Amino acid sequence: MPSNTIELIVSAYVRLKNRRALEDMRELRRQLLGGLQAAPGINPRAALKHVEEDLRVIEQGLEQLRLPRERKSERSRGRV
């Protein structure tokens, strides 16, 4: 379950059509995910789950900003 905070932030960026901010958030979460996975001597299971859920919410926000033509093109290529 994503935190309400990330949902509110993503929702605001979608309303503002701020794709760049969402892409930056996604990149930071990906870097964090990589760091957590590579961290020796800790059990990052809970943190990994939280970051993965944040990424899911961010991806949904980015999907909402895609143009209908982009989505149709990706479906025809089998990407969605």
The ranges assigned to domains in the chain are 4-76
Is residue 73 over pLDDT 90? Answer: no
pLDDT at 67: 72
66, 68, 70 from 76: Cα distances, Å: 15, 12, 10
pTM higher than the cut 0.85: no
